[in-house]
Structure 1
Amino acid sequence: MMFSQAAPTIVIKRSNSVGAMKIMLGVFVGLVALLLGLIVLYLIGIQTGPVALMAGLIFATLPVPVYITLILWLDRYESEPLWLLAVVFFWGATVAVFIAFVANTTGAYAVAASAGEEAGEIFGLVISAPIFEESAKALILFIVFFWKKDEFDGILDGIVYAAMVGLGFAMTENVQYYGMAALKGGLVAERNLFILRGAIAPFSHPLFTSMTGIGLGWARQSNNKAIKILMPLIGLGLAMMLHAIWNGTAYIHGLLWILAYVFIMIPVAITALVVVFFAWRREGRIVREHLLPDFQRGVMTQDEYNRLCSVRGRMGLSFRALRNGGFGIWRARMRYNQMASELAFHRNRVARGISDGEQEAREREAAYLQMLQDLRTRMGPH
């Protein structure tokens, strides 16, 4: 099994004042997000009480590390920066939940006041929640898409980021669900709900939002202007539609929800996995094409070059490094694999004309090559 590696640090000279401003802005945004998350937890605590709130927190966070590991496992060639994945997850768990909470509550109360309580509940579940929750989660995906072009290369990246923001959102949402279950039915009711939401259907929010991620990823890797404009909107629309089906069938009847789960959600999830498979193949082709010059210059051997171009081959390189050289050599090999991918994808962005600039592109490539050389020295003959 491969573990996610943080993207390498590429040193490009920038103004100190610009760097300081970015740090200050990042800290400010992080504090605001934390405040919004605490407000949400406070409001949940008012509903459930402190004991049920703590029980909800425990049950909601317990499986999250397992699910994060599975999401990171999908990112086999060019792992996304851990700090950026954390930002996306944190957004889903705080900002997106707060936006959705305010919008859903306001809309449901407004409809209930004019059309009755049942109409307000239906509106909140089937119309408001799909629109505002998916939009709130999608917002960070659009931010990353336009802000970090060098870290959003295609469909697979879109799925990974979408799954992380969806998982963060689901975690905080589950605090409320589990807390209310504990309040009304005790730990037995909370356990039963945990089995339903945490084991049988844990990936509902990540699956919904992955539609938006696929749309953005498709737009990134396409040169067709119509696709670049339409696919993100189509993806967001599909996310809202799946969300509405999920909530609507659950509200109407449990049997209808089961049918939707079996005949809609599971096929969509399987389709998403098929998309991941073909995204792996695309990324393998990018690595093969853009590392070919390094193989031709003798920077890497034929065997190493071939193995770097497939998921199975990379696993073999990593296992061999661990077996022959120990943990330190294994870590060096993992970073070498990651940086080789970063170099290949950087060259692909330059070839497609979506890099930051000619001078910075040259500096970045030189930095990657230097790091690969340093890691080669550290690995030795392993």
Structure 2
Amino acid sequence: MPQNNQMKMVMGTAAVAVLCLLGLVTLLMIGAMNTGLPGLVVGMIMAVLPVPLYVALALWVDRYEKEPRWMLAAAFLWGATGAVFFAFIFNSIAAAIFGTVGGRGAAEIGGSVLSAPLVEELAKGVALFTFFFWKKDEFDDVIDGVIYAAMVGLGFAMTENVSYYGQALQGGGLSGTFFVRGVLAPFSHPLFTAMTGIGLGLSRETLRKGLKSAAPLLGLSTAMFLHATWNLSASFGAAFLVAYLFIMVPAFFGLVGVVLYAQARERKIIRANLIPYVQTGHVSPGELEVLCRFGGRTKTLMAAMSAAGWAGLRREARFHQAASELAFHRWRTERGISKGVQEYTVREAEYLRVIAECRMQPVARFGGYAGA
């Protein structure tokens, strides 16, 4: 293994170990300060149980150019450990300051409405900004921003819910708390942080310098505003239902609309940037149609599995991913997001190699067969 790769592996392992340690410390603090041992155990169980479903729903959005699994896992891990740890520390400090100045009421309102939105959205946003600047080839557009934000938000909500469920167990309101946080609003943290992701995605996509600079800050500010509105409404009983129905639900469906529009844009990017490879014979016209339709992709995956089992499914999924990566690689390069001609040529050749390798095995697709 090259020394550079070894160093990356060591650093990655160390980072995961540190984050896991922060997560453990956070759980110990929650148990000692908020829930006690029984509440901590029950809270952990209830917080973790629905997570696979919510993660699956989030990943379902990532249809065309799927993000690396390690980056999705890293986003979730940061949200569940590092982001919660630092938010817990700074929110506790802020609550103590508000309490000293204005008493218990000021500590509760100031902590939840002023400190929490600022601190928590900044903490969650660290992962998004890191990916945005560090992995430019894997943060292409609005969809990528929403996906990474969803993973960070789900991780954060999972650990935060341990505290809420544990405290609710002590106070006798566990079922109500689970209904609100697990049924009515499991999307709250992903929704808030998605605003930051959308801002970064717009910044990546646009060619307008003013919007490129302003979009991330606008997205982060919107995330904080929605978060503050949510927390403020929760402090005033009936106002929560009003805010939920007239702010959070419309915001959620607005996000769905943004995602659908962004997915359509991704299809256009794939089509426009694969046409040259159709002309050179690397991709067939029928394959291009499959790649630009979600239903087409699903049917060919099922056909591949029916014909060749899991190996066929993996091969077809590999073809989809390589072709999509090739399209976005060309799109990024045309927009000036490139490490130079040599890097472009090397990566293009690798994508074409994978595509050719996958097309050697005939799998039924719209418009013909892979080898046709």
TM over 0.5: yes
Superposed CA offset, 1:169-207 (max 9, x none): 00000000111111222xxx3233212211111000000
Indicate the residue corresponding to 1:18 in structure 2: 4
Superposed CA offset, 1:115-152 (max 9, x none): 21211111101000000000000111000000000110
Correspondence 1:278 to 2:277: no
Indicate the residue corresponding to 1:133 in structure 2: 120
Correspondence 1:363 to 2:346: yes
Indicate the residue corresponding to 2:332 in structure 1: 349
Indicate the residue corresponding to 1:313 in structure 2: 296
Indicate the residue corresponding to 1:3 in structure 2: none
Indicate the residue corresponding to 1:9 in structure 2: none
Indicate the residue corresponding to 1:335 in structure 2: 318
- Of 223, 247, 250, 1:239 maps to 223
Correspondence 1:36 to 2:22: yes
- Of 189, 203, 213, 2:197 maps to 213
Separation (CA, whole Å) in 2 of partners of 1:201 and 1:177: 13
Indicate the residue corresponding to 1:256 in structure 2: 239
- Of 165, 175, 179, 2:166 maps to 179
Indicate the residue corresponding to 1:202 in structure 2: 186
Superposed CA offset, 1:231-283 (max 9, x none): 0000000000000000001102x211101000001111111111111111110
Structure 1-normalised TM-score? 0.92
Quick one: higher RCO (CA 8 Å, sep 6+), 1 or 2? 1
Separation (CA, whole Å) in 1 of partners of 2:36 and 2:228: 30
Indicate the residue corresponding to 1:5 in structure 2: none
Separation (CA, whole Å) in 1 of partners of 2:25 and 2:305: 46
Separation (CA, whole Å) in 2 of partners of 1:317 and 1:362: 29
Indicate the residue corresponding to 1:101 in structure 2: 88
Give the superposition deviation at 1:325. 3.8
Structure 2-normalised TM-score? 0.95
* Alpha carbons 2:282, 2:352 under 8 Å: kept: no
**Secondary structure of the corresponding residue to residue 280 of structure 1:** helix
> Quick one: which amino acid aligns to residue 231 of structure 1?
A
Superposed CA offset, 1:53-92 (max 9, x none): 1110000000000000000000010010111000000000
Separation (CA, whole Å) in 2 of partners of 1:275 and 1:23: 36
* Alpha carbons 2:319, 2:355 under 8 Å: kept: yes
Separation (CA, whole Å) in 2 of partners of 1:192 and 1:332: 46
* Alpha carbons 1:336, 1:375 under 8 Å: kept: yes
Separation (CA, whole Å) in 2 of partners of 1:36 and 1:300: 47
> Quick one: which amino acid aligns to residue 109 of structure 1?
A
**Secondary structure of the corresponding residue to residue 235 of structure 2:** helix
Correspondence 1:80 to 2:67: yes
- CA, structure 1 residues 379+95, in 2 after alignment: closer, same or farther (shift >3 Å)? farther
Indicate the residue corresponding to 1:7 in structure 2: none
Tell me how large the CA RMSD over aligned residues is: 1.4
* Alpha carbons 1:332, 1:379 under 8 Å: kept: no
**Secondary structure of the corresponding residue to residue 182 of structure 1:** helix
Give the superposition deviation at 1:379. 4.3
Separation (CA, whole Å) in 1 of partners of 2:22 and 2:125: 18
> Quick one: which amino acid aligns to residue 17 of structure 1?
Q
- CA, structure 1 residues 17+328, in 2 after alignment: closer, same or farther (shift >3 Å)? closer
Indicate the residue corresponding to 2:366 in structure 1: none
Aligned pair count reads 364
5+ unaligned residues in a row in structure 2: which ranges? 364-368
Q: Sequence identity of aligned pairs in percent?
A: 48
Correspondence 1:269 to 2:252: yes
| 107-116 vs 264-273, greater mean Cα deviation | 107-116
Separation (CA, whole Å) in 2 of partners of 1:17 and 1:297: 38
Separation (CA, whole Å) in 2 of partners of 1:248 and 1:184: 21
Indicate the residue corresponding to 2:52 in structure 1: 65
Separation (CA, whole Å) in 2 of partners of 1:26 and 1:240: 30
> Quick one: which amino acid aligns to residue 102 of structure 1?
I
Separation (CA, whole Å) in 2 of partners of 1:82 and 1:131: 29
5+ unaligned residues in a row in structure 1: which ranges? 1-14
